[in-house]
C-alpha cells in the first residue's frame, strides 16, 4: 500500500467522523435551550465547553474551531436574551469558553500532525519491506508459493524475520530465517542475510557451500554490531536461525539444511509431517561456538504436497491461558487447497488465537506446493 492509498483509506475513515458532529451540535442546542429556560440565577453556560472538547477527540482543528465558535456564539445569544453581554458573569463565561475552544483546537492540530507522521512512517515501512523483503513470486518452476509476514512492532510492517527464493539452473532455493531481536537493528541484520543469499544462491553448487558463504558474510557484521552495542566480552546473543531448502525441478525430493530453525512441516493428505534433520547446524553467527555439520538431508516432496516454512513467532503466540499456538494441529485440520488459502487460514487463526489480535514477536510463513510435472511433448506433436 503506497502513500496515496493510505491517504485514501484515511479519507474513508473520516466519513463516520462527520456523522459524529451531530453529538456536539446537539449538546450545544440542549445546553442553550436549558440555559434559556432555567431561572436567571442558574447558569448552564460552562457545560458548552464539552462540545469543542468532544469534537477534538475525533475531528480536525478546523471542525473543532467551528464547533468552538458555535458554542461561543450560543453563549453570547444566551447572555443577550437573559440580560447583557457586558454582565460580569456572562463575560467571564464567554472568555473562558473562548480560551477552552482555542486550546482544544490547538490539541486537535497537534493530533492531526501526529497522524500525518504515522501515515508517512507506515509508507516508509512499506517501502522498506518492498526493498528488503521482496514479495515472492507466485510461480517458480513447478512450484506454487505464497507468503505472509506479521510484524510485532507497532506501526511497522517489517521486523527481524526473513524469507527469499531464488531460481537456479536445476531448481529453486529458499531461505527462511529469524534475527534475534526486533526493530531497526533486526531489519538491518535481515537485509544483510537476504543480500548474501541473493548474491550466492546462483553461484554455490550445493547447500553446504551456500551456508558457509552466508556464515562468512554475516558473522563479522553480526559480531561487530553486537560488540558496539553490549561490549567486547559477550558474543552469545548475535545470531540468526535459518533453514535453507533446495527443491530440484526434476524428481520428487527436497534437500534441507537447518541452522537452529524450527523444523518445516510437510502437509500430505491431511497429515502433517515435521521435517526434522538428524544433524542440525548452529545458527548463523555462532559457528565459533559449535562444530557445524553442514550435511543436507533429503525428504520426499511429491506433487500435491505443501511445504510450510515458518518462524518461531508463530509457535510462541499465546492465548489467554498462556498456551502456545498449535501450528501442526491447526494445519492438519485445514481442508482447503493451495498455499495461498492455507496461509490465509493460518494467519486469521493465529491472530484469533491471541487475546488482543497482535503478536509478541514477528512471524513469517511461506507455503510451497509442488505441482504435477507436465508430460513432455511427443516429437512432432502440436504445441498448446
pLDDT in tens, 290-335: 445 688 999 999 999 999 999 998 999 988 888 999 999 999 999 8
* Residue 13 falls inside a structural domain: yes
Other CB atoms within 10 A of residue 90 CB: 20
**114 falls within a domain:** yes
Q: Is residue 19 part of a domain?
A: yes
Instruction: Please indicate, yes or no, whether residues 72 and 93 belong to a single structural domain of this protein.
Output: yes
DSSP annotation of 260: B
pLDDT at 380: 46
Q: Are residues 213 and 355 in the same domain?
A: yes
Same domain as 101, residue 149: no
The grid coordinates listed for 251 are 524428481
Q: Same domain for 115 and 206?
A: no
CB 315 within 8 A of CB 262: yes
Is 176 in contact with 311 (CB distance < 8 Å)?
yes
The three cell numbers of residue 232 are 567486547
CATH number at residue 155: 3.60.40.10
Last residue of a domain, one of 125, 147, 174: 125
Under 8 Å between Cβ of 150 and 134: no
Question: Is 160 a member of any domain?
Answer: yes
The boundaries of the domain holding residue 80 are 3-125
Task: State pTM to two decimals.
Answer: 0.67
Residue 377 in any domain: the answer is no
pLDDT band at 1 (very low <50, low <70, confident <90, very high): very low
Report in angstroms the alpha-carbon separations of 140 from 157, 170, 174, 220. 25, 12, 11, 33
Whether residues 275 and 166 share a domain: the answer is: yes
144 and 88 in one domain? no
Q: Are residues 57 and 156 in the same domain?
A: no
Domain boundary among 125, 158, 186: 125
Cell numbers placing 293: 555439520
pLDDT tens digits, one per residue of 137-178: 999 999 999 999 887 755 455 667 899 999 998 999 999 999
pLDDT averaged over every residue in the chain: 82
Residues 88 and 157 reside in one and the same domain: no
Residues 6+ apart with CB under 8 A from 153: 159, 182, 183, 362
Cα dihedral 92, 96, 98, 101, rounded to 10, equals -160
**292 occurs within a structural domain:** yes
Alpha-carbon span 198 to 218, nearest angstrom: 13
Q: Are residues 182 and 275 both part of a single domain? A: yes
Average pLDDT for 97-122: 86
Tally the residues of the chain: 384
Tell me whether residue 383 is in a domain: no
**192 and 112: one domain?**
no
213 assigned to some structural domain: yes
Of 92-106, 224-238, 363-377, the least confident: 224-238
Domain count, the chain: 2
Boundary (domain end) residue, out of 125, 147, 165: 125
| Nearest alpha-carbon partner for 365 in 307, 324, 291 | 307
119 & 255 share domain: no
Pair (68, 140) in one structural domain: no
Amino acid at each position: 500500500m503506497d502513500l496515496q492509498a493510505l491517504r485514501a483509506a484515511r479519507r474513508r475513515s473520516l466519513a463516520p467522523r462527520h456523522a459524529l458532529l451531530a453529538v456536539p451540535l446537539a449538546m450545544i442546542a440542549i445546553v442553550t435551550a436549558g440555559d434559556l429556560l432555567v431561572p436567571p440565577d442558574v447558569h448552564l453556560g460552562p457545560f458548552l465547553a464539552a462540545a469543542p472538547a468532544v469534537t477534538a477527540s475525533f475531528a480536525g482543528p478546523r471542525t473543532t474551531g467551528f464547533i468552538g465558535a458555535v458554542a461561543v456564539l450560543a453563549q453570547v445569544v444566551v447572555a443577550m436574551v437573559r440580560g447583557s453581554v457586558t454582565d460580569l458573569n456572562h463575560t467571564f463565561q464567554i472568555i473562558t469558553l473562548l480560551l477552552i475552544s482555542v486550546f482544544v483546537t490547538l490539541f486537535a492540530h497537534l493530533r492531526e500532525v501526529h497522524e500525518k507522521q504515522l501515515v508517512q512512517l507506515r509508507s516508509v515501512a512499506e517501502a522498506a519491506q518492498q526493498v528488503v523483503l521482496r514479495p515472492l513470486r507466485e510461480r517458480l518452476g513447478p512450484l506454487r508459493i505464497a507468503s505472509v509476514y506479521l510484524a510485532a512492532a507497532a506501526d511497522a510492517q517489517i521486523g527481524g524475520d526473513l524469507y527469499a527464493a531464488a531460481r537456479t539452473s536445476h531448481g529453486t532455493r529458499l531461505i527462511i530465517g529469524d534475527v534475534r531481536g526486533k526493530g531497526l537493528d533486526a531489519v538491518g541484520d535481515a537485509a544483510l542475510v537476504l543480500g548474501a543469499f541473493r548474491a550466492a544462491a546462483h553461484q554455490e553448487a550445493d547447500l553446504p557451500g551456500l551456508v558457509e558463504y552466508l556464515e562468512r558474510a554475516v558473522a563479522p557484521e553480526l559480531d561487530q554490531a553486537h560488540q558496539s552495542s553490549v561490549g567486547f566480552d559477550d558474543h552469545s546473543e548475535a545470531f540468526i536461525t535459518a533453514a535453507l531448502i533446495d527443491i530440484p525441478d526434476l524428481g520428487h525430493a527436497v534437500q534441507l539444511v537447518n541452522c537452529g530453525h524450527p523444523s518445516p512441516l510437510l502437509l500430505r493428505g491431511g497429515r502433517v509431517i515435521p521435517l526434522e534433520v538428524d544433524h542440525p547446524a548452529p545458527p548463523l553467527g555462532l559457528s565459533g561456538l559449535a562444530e557445524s555439520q553442514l550435511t543436507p538431508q533429503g525428504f520426499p516432496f511429491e506433487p500435491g504436497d505443501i511445504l510450510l516454512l515458518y518462524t518461531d513467532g508463530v509457535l510462541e503466540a499465546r492465548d489467554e491461558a498462556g498456551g502456545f499456538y498449535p501450528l501442526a494441529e491447526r494445519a492438519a485440520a485445514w481442508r482447503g487447497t493451495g498455499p495461498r488459502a492455507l496461509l490465509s487460514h493460518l494467519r486469521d487463526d493465529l491472530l484469533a488465537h491471541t487475546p488482543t489480535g497482535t503478536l509478541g514477536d514477528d512471524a513469517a510463513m511461506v507455503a510451497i506446493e509442488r505441482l504435477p510435472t507436465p508430460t513432455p511433448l511427443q516429437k512432432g506433436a502440436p504445441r498448446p
